[in-house]
Amino acid sequence: MGCAARDPGDALTRPTSLSDCHPDSARERGWRQGCQLTLDLPLEHVTVRDNRPYAVRDVHGHWLVAEQDCDLAHRALVGSSYTLELRAVWHDDAPRDWGIRNTRFLLDASGAYLNAEVPVVRVTLDVLDLAKHLTCPHPPSGQRLKTWLGLRYDRPAIHEAYAKLAGKLAERLKKKSRRELGERLRDVLATFQTVEGESEYTLVAVLPHATATPELLDRVRQWLADVALEVPETLGRPVDIEARTDRQVSLAFLEESYGLAVSTLSWPVNEPGPIGAV
């Protein structure tokens, strides 16, 4: 599937225009984020042996394209030196749930998964010409992957149409943070959509069930509303602002939402980190 074909799904999961990608791009050749392939490639990391750096090398054969679609469409070109990111796909000892906020992320019901603690491999586009193209993700699984990558790394997980809006929200959250609230928040999640050409978003603060009193939920909801007032409506309009406990946040919502990168609003120091799907 090249750039002329449109992905199914909504504005969250498809590029605004696939017809303008470079004719010599990886995207034009059918590669997009989440596609899987088989090819024996070196997988290595560096340790110390005899007081010197030492490369430990293995060979792995199953990979996933982790590069962003915009880079696959415009930067990963035939004959270029640009390298795109591959992540090793594993099958042994698979996790039992999706693990969207975990180190290990389940790709599908077959048990294939990614491990964030394993080194990535970067290759030029011509290397992919040697590989066997296995499959590409459907929109729901592709969206889960984008969310996981965005939570694990400093890269945009959302469609570029909402990147400025998400960035401004994260910026205002960081500046608006109050220690007495931040220590009690597990996460701030956002969803984005386009309605009649206008960007809209929701904000949801997630608090531990054990400490989320009705009064605290109201305070946090008002705090988020104040943050939204500081974001220009030219970037996007808030349609819903909520504060919920971790027991009220469904897996479906986690899969559809994006965590805003706000270090002061992360997991409390005296609380365990996320487990399972959350």
Q: Is 99 left (phi over 0), alpha (psi -120 to 50) or beta?
A: left
Among the ranges given (116-125, 234-243, 262-271), the one the predictor scored with the smallest mean pLDDT:
262-271
What's the confidence (pLDDT) of residue 34?
Answer: 95
DSSP the chain: --TTSPPSS-TTTS-S-STTS-TTBTTTTT--TT-EEEEEEEEEEEEEETTEEEEEEEEEEEEEE-S-HHHHHHTSBTT----EEEEE-B-TT--SS--TTSSEEE-STT--EEETTSPPEEE-HHHHTTSEEEE---HHHHHHHHHHHHHHSSS--S-GGGHHHHHHHHHHHHHH--HHHHTT--EEEEEEEEETTEEEEEEEEEE-GGG--HHHHHHHHHHHHHHHHTS-TTT-EEEEEEEEETTS--HHHHHH-EE---GGGSS-TTS----TT-
Q: In this predicted structure, what is the pLDDT of residue 266?
A: 31
Q: Which amino acid is at 19?
A: S
Q: Tokens 């296995």 identify what position?
A: 134
Q: Is the pLDDT of residue 271 over 60?
A: no
Q: Cβ neighbours of residue 228 under 8 Å, at least 6 residues apart?
A: 169, 203, 238, 241
d(CA 74, CA 25): 6
Please compute the mean of the pLDDT values over residues 110-127 and round it to a whole number: 95
Report pLDDT digits (tens) over 36-90. 999 999 999 999 999 999 999 999 999 999 998 889 999 999 999 999 999 999 9
Report the alpha-carbon distance of residue 242 to residue 24 in Å, rounded.
45
- Name the segment(s) of the chain with CATH classification 3.30.300: 160-265
Look at residue 215 and tell me whether its pLDDT is greater than 50: yes
Name the more confident of 20 and 220.
220
> Global pTM?
0.57
Segment 138-151 shows an average pLDDT of 78
Overall average pLDDT of the 112-129 stretch? 95
Neighbours of 197 (CB within 10 A): 5
Percent of the chain with pLDDT over 70: 79
CATH of domain 160-265: 3.30.300
